[in-house]
Amino acid sequence: MTKDERISLRVDTKTKRLFEAASEAAGTSVSAFILDAATLAAHHALADRTVFRLNEEQWAAFDAMMNREPRDMPKLRELLNTPTILDGIE
């Protein structure tokens, strides 16, 4: 994979020294260390939105829950229909 995009970061001295020490301990460059850490964090941040891992029992429970008739939840309906400070902001 070619690397043809650039991302710039501005950090304080303490953070830069932390990155340098950690990358040295890992035996890699600061750029590679930050890229690896950021890539892992991005995968973790998105994992629960893209992958569900369930055993057979968990899948059966999930499937049953998704297929049951919806319940009336007046308090939830009220909450969702209550205006917030964000309403009207464009």
CA distances from 21 to 25, 29, 52 (A): 6, 10, 36
Residue 5 near residue 30 (C-beta atoms within 8 A): no
Residue 67 lies in a domain: yes
Residue 89 lies in a domain: no
Residue 47 lies in a domain: yes
State the pLDDT at residue 30.
Answer: 96
Q: How wide is the angle at C-alpha 49 spanned by C-alphas 57 and 87, nearest 5°? A: 125
Residue 90 lies in a domain: no
Count of domains forming the chain: 1
State the pLDDT at residue 28.
Answer: 97
Residue 8 lies in a domain: no
Write out pLDDT tens, residues 26-80: 999 999 999 999 999 999 889 878 777 899 999 999 999 999 999 999 999 999 9
Range of the domain at 64: 13-81
Residue 86 lies in a domain: no
